[in-house]
Amino acid sequence: MPIFNFSAGPAVLPKEVLAHAGAEMLDWHGSGMSVMEMSHRGPEFMSIYREAEQDLRDLLAVPANYRILFLQGGGLGENAIVPMNLVGRKGQGATVDFVHTGSWSGKSLKEAQKYAQVNVAASTQAEGFNRVPDVDSWKLSPDPAYVHICTNETIDGVEYPFVPDIAARTHGAPLVADMSSHILSRVIDVSKYGVIFGGAQKNIGPAGLTLVIVREDLLGHALPICPSAFNWQVVAENNSMYNTPPTYAIYIAGLVFKWLKQQGGVAALEERNIAKATLLYACLDATDFYQNRVLPGFRSRMNVPFYLRDESLNDAFLAGARERGLLQLKGHKSVGGMRASIYNAMPLEGVQALVDYLNTFARQHGG
């Protein structure tokens, strides 16, 4: 029986990548070493690192004036690392703007309050995080150090369908985007952002690696309290080798990047992701036995939260899913219900198997 893993992260990886890594686990390319055993400064690992960086640059068409940093600390770490690196642009008492569209932007703005004045320019909390608020309604500060958005809310299932144009209203403040859960799932224009960051453990590779893509002019403003290992300028000057980077996670990420290229790149993946999400939402919308509360137009292609009309059936639903090899469908503990994460590595067959089960389960229980 095929197994399909719908975990929100750490999440499914391409089978080909895992098989490839397995085959060279003990001896990488005749070096006599596992990648895990190599010095991060040795020629073997340096070649892995350089290829990973170049492949990512190719996949996202990262402009030459942006640096790619391979860090640690995860998405939550970046919630502190971003303000420590950027509020210094505007000095003591600087304001930073946040758009609150769900659990993760909420966590980010709380953390930033330790380092700056936080202005919540817009929030959909009162409506249960069901959309991205219209940009014209954002109450932006006139001159913030940066504007933070989470372009895909992993828990609430809300995804930005547009890039907000805020420059004219903010003195050209950089847009900072937490893309942890949908980076590489759709074509993006990196030049529209000042900083893009994300934990790797969803669409890229194993936990432990955090990706930061930062425009060069935003380097060099770190607060004195910023740990050197998290000072983007220091990390950039040392090509992410200021301290020991998460070498094995970078290696796996590099294999995922190669896999993405073989699949036709991000545009090809985006088409597949649209097909998968369309199939799943159509199934959920076809009956009131299931419910997704996000307004169409803002629904995430990666994380699909849904509720059973009769929540007393939740355990039976999950047990039946497990029997069919459909794993990790339980919703985040903070919101309950179910969640199907359908990242790049989830094949259409996995979504079809889930849809078949959703239909069968609803029929069996009077839906």
* Active site residue ranges: 104, 178, 202
Single out the segment in contact with ligand PMP by CB under 6 A; choices: 54-62, 72-80, 128-136, 256-264: 72-80
Of 14, 75, 88, 331, which one interacts with ligand PMP (CB under 6 A)?
Answer: 75
Of 14, 74, 88, 144, which one interacts with ligand PMP (CB under 6 A)?
Answer: 74
Of 181, 240, 292, 344, which one interacts with ligand PMP (CB under 6 A)?
Answer: 181
For position 76 contacting ligand PMP by CB under 6 A, the verdict is yes
Contact 320, 331 (CB under 8 A): no
Q: Where are the beta strands (DSSP E) in 228-359?
A: 290-291, 303-308, 326-327, 338-341
Residues 222-246, buried b or exposed e (16+ Cβ, 10 A)? beeebeeebbbbbbbeebbebeebb
CA 364 – CA 367 distance, rounded (Å): 7
Of 84, 118, 122, 150, which one interacts with ligand PMP (CB under 6 A)?
Answer: 150
Q: What is the size of the binding site for ligand PMP (CB under 6 A)? A: 11
CA 308 – CA 31 distance, rounded (Å): 53
* Whole-number Cα distances in Å, 244 to 130, 198, 209, 348: 41, 19, 12, 38
Taking the least distance from each CB to ligand PMP, the nearer of 104 and 361 is 104
For position 341 contacting ligand PMP by CB under 6 A, the verdict is no
CB of residue 287 to ligand PMP, shortest distance in Å = 28
CA 97 – CA 121 distance, rounded (Å): 6
Window 188-227: contact mask with ligand PMP (x via CB under 6 A):
-----------x----------------------------
For position 104 contacting ligand PMP by CB under 6 A, the verdict is yes
Single out the segment in contact with ligand PMP by CB under 6 A; choices: 37-45, 71-79, 93-101, 250-258: 71-79
CB of residue 99 to ligand PMP, shortest distance in Å = 13
CA 188 – CA 163 distance, rounded (Å): 9
Single out the segment in contact with ligand PMP by CB under 6 A; choices: 122-130, 165-173, 177-185, 340-348: 177-185
For position 178 contacting ligand PMP by CB under 6 A, the verdict is yes
CA 118 – CA 221 distance, rounded (Å): 18
3-state secondary structure 172-222: CCCEEEECCCCCCCCCCCHHHCCEEEEECCCCCCCCCCEEEEEEHHHCCCC
CA 332 – CA 339 distance, rounded (Å): 7
Could you give the strand order of the β-sheet that contains 303-308, starting from the edge strand earlier in sequence? Answer: 290-291, 303-308, 338-341
For position 83 contacting ligand PMP by CB under 6 A, the verdict is no
Single out the segment in contact with ligand PMP by CB under 6 A; choices: 36-44, 70-78, 88-96, 322-330: 70-78
CB of residue 39 to ligand PMP, shortest distance in Å = 26
Binding site for ligand PMP (CB under 6 A): 9, 74-76, 104, 150, 154, 178, 180-181, 199
